[in-house]
Amino acid sequence: MLILGFVAILLALAKPMGLWLFALYEGRATPLHRLLGPVERGFYRLSGIDPNEEQSWRRYALHMLLFNLVLLLFTYAILRLQGVLPGNPQGFGAVGADGAFNTAVSFTTNTNWQWYSGEATLSNLSQMLGLTIHNFLSAATGIAIAFALFRGFARREMKTIGNFWADTTRVTLYLLLPICVIYAVFLIASGVPQTLAGSIDATTLEGVKQTIALGPVASQEAIKMLGTNGGGFFNANSAHPFENPTALTNLVQMLSIFAIGVGLTWCFGKAVGDTRQGWAILAAMGIIFLSGVALTYWQEAAGNPALHQLGVAGGNMEGKEVRFGIAASALFAVVTTAASCGAVNAMHDSFTALGGLIPLFNMQLGEVVVGGVGAGIYGFLLFAILAVFVAGLMVGRTPEYVGKKIEAREVKLTVLAIAILPLAILGLTALASVLPAGLAGPLNKGPHGFSEILYAFTSSAGNNGSAFAGLSAGTPFYNGLLGIAMWLGRFMVIIPVLAIAGSLAAKRHTPATSGSFPTTGGLWIGLLVGVILIMGGLTFLPSLALGPIADHLTAAGGQLF
């Protein structure tokens, strides 16, 4: 019932969210412009930006890269100077060079991979000024890139794809910020702390003194979920009662992870003049998502076969919060990895082998199952381009998608963007699996230990941030390599996407004919799903066989790692 209710509410949110996003995509006024319009115009005056000045894809990409590079250096400086900066009631010292580099890259790329325990490492100022700002701006960057690609499909014989500064500002000011203000108030009312105090002393029922960490949690939690960032204020993330105290907050957090992603599918359809295109994309996403939820829930409810052999019946509750249980934990795990969010309300390392395979495989598909805000839809459209190319080969026609011919340049750029993820994941996993510094990280041996390494690089390159937390990743080796994986997985995909947007915008519109391949019906949805799964399966099946599949088979035989 929880899973079915979640899907129903999500479908109801798709069009309203899509309408709001479409208004921002077009640069039209929203009901909030009367209140926030002066703030937007003041920002443009102070920064010398003309929001009406259109940019080519190269200029759009250059401004985006410089903006994110400056943000990275800004956060790195805050973390390195943490010990002498204010807003540090806990008295934490500076973060080490490799850890600061990893964290700055992590939040810049919307990954939010955390090698540290937040409440024991970062000051309130670092959490607010260094990390929460990134949660807004990295999410806005992803949506801006999606808007640029939408314009590539929608525009005809134009050399520009919008203005990066205007897109990012409008998304932040009129979408992310207002929702998060309301969202944070809801979380505070539900019991999530929002204070500048560092901690409070309490006496337990046993009479023991305990220091409980506090901080500005609700404000970070809201954008962490809505922006599919995932980095928690506390080490236990959304399994911590101060981040996720009730069943209601758990449901709202899952819905907020997907809300913008599903809205962008409708927005895309509206942008290209056929909302059926958006619904077809959402249907393909939904098939993969529901298949993953069904398999994960089935495996977690079935439990551990090794325990069954010992006469211990029941589902797998290891690493799960009793207040959520198996269904809510399984659903949350699939949602957070299907959306490249990375927030967790259960320990993925404690899932059954096949239950843990689905979150891993979701990330390996490249953020296409709803995906991160913006990143999900532009990642999915890469596979859509590939699918129409395959369809064109089968019927002997030049492939077309939403009125644009897909030619050699677009296909080459698409393959380049799609190839980045497996190159980063498999190449760096192989390196860590043979070097002593890499082998020192996994807590477990055998296939489960390999899965811990594979999951880390999959999560980083996929800009997800969740972990098989048995891996000790807070070392110079892992901080450095995972930082590289995050940067490659984010920006080496975005640049080809913007190049595709520029190429498509310059093309003329090609009207559909009776010979055009339909891209709205069941045949198209099936082709999309097939291309995504075959590409993912062929690329990552060997690594999955060495990790979770081997782990499952050995557990069934009574051997645990």
In a domain, 381, yes or no: no
- Lowest-pLDDT range, 16-25, 124-133, 509-518, 540-549? 509-518
Angle in degrees, 0-180, between the axes of helices 325-338 and 275-302, rounded to the nearest 10: 140
pLDDT bin (cut points 50, 70, 90) of residue 456 is very high
- 70-88 mean pLDDT: 96
Per-residue pLDDT at 372 = 84
Say if CB 236 and CB 183 are below 8 A apart. no
- Comparing CA positions, the residue from 10, 1, 3 lying closest to residue 283 is 10
Radius of gyration of the chain (CA): 23
Helices (H), 462-521: 476-505
How far is residue 140's CA from residue 176's CA, in Å, rounded to a whole number? 8
In a domain, 549, yes or no: no
pLDDT per residue as tens digits for the range 298-307: 999 999 887 8
Say if CB 346 and CB 329 are below 8 A apart. yes
Q: What is the mean pLDDT of the chain?
A: 93
What percent of the chain is modeled with pLDDT above 70?
A: 100
In a domain, 319, yes or no: no
Type of residue numbered 62: L
Bridging pattern class, strands 199-203 and 209-213: antiparallel
- Maximum C-alpha span of the chain: 78
How far is residue 18's CA from residue 146's CA, in Å, rounded to a whole number? 13
Residue with tokens 């400056």: 70
pLDDT per residue as tens digits for the range 334-381: 999 999 899 999 999 999 999 999 999 999 998 778 888 999 999 999
pLDDT per residue as tens digits for the range 81-130: 999 999 999 899 999 999 999 999 999 999 999 999 989 999 999 999 99
pLDDT per residue as tens digits for the range 377-422: 999 999 999 999 998 888 777 789 999 999 999 999 999 999 999 9
Burial of 483 (0-12, 13-18, 19+ CB in 10 A): buried
Per-residue pLDDT at 560 = 76
How far is residue 161's CA from residue 151's CA, in Å, rounded to a whole number? 6
In a domain, 106, yes or no: yes
How far is residue 303's CA from residue 318's CA, in Å, rounded to a whole number? 9
How far is residue 229's CA from residue 463's CA, in Å, rounded to a whole number? 9
How far is residue 477's CA from residue 461's CA, in Å, rounded to a whole number? 16
In a domain, 195, yes or no: yes
Distances in Å between the alpha carbon of 392 and those of 269, 284, 388, 414?
22, 20, 6, 16
Per-residue pLDDT at 304 = 84
In a domain, 279, yes or no: no
pLDDT bin (cut points 50, 70, 90) of residue 538 is confident
Per-residue pLDDT at 500 = 97
Helices (H), 50-132: 57-80, 97-108, 118-121, 124-125
Tally of structural domains, the chain: 1
Angle in degrees, 0-180, between the axes of helices 446-461 and 353-364, rounded to the nearest 10: 30
In a domain, 398, yes or no: no
How far is residue 109's CA from residue 457's CA, in Å, rounded to a whole number? 14
Residue with tokens 């070097």: 435
**Which two structure tokens, joined as six digits, stand for 307?**
């325990």
Per-residue pLDDT at 254 = 97
How far is residue 348's CA from residue 350's CA, in Å, rounded to a whole number? 5
**Which two structure tokens, joined as six digits, stand for 355?**
């239950």
The domain of 239 spans 18-257
Helices (H), 303-341: 305-309, 325-338
Distance of CA 195 to the CA centre of its chain: 27
What percent of the chain is modeled with pLDDT above 90?
A: 86
How far is residue 408's CA from residue 410's CA, in Å, rounded to a whole number? 6
- 489-507 mean pLDDT: 96
In a domain, 555, yes or no: no
- 488-509 mean pLDDT: 96
DSSP class of residue 197 equals -
Model's pTM, two decimal places? 0.95
- Comparing CA positions, the residue from 37, 65, 61 lying closest to residue 51 is 37
Per-residue pLDDT at 370 = 85
**Which two structure tokens, joined as six digits, stand for 550?**
């081997």
- Comparing CA positions, the residue from 159, 161, 130 lying closest to residue 233 is 130
- Comparing CA positions, the residue from 252, 469, 497 lying closest to residue 366 is 497
**Which two structure tokens, joined as six digits, stand for 268?**
């895309």
pLDDT per residue as tens digits for the range 303-319: 988 788 788 888 999 99
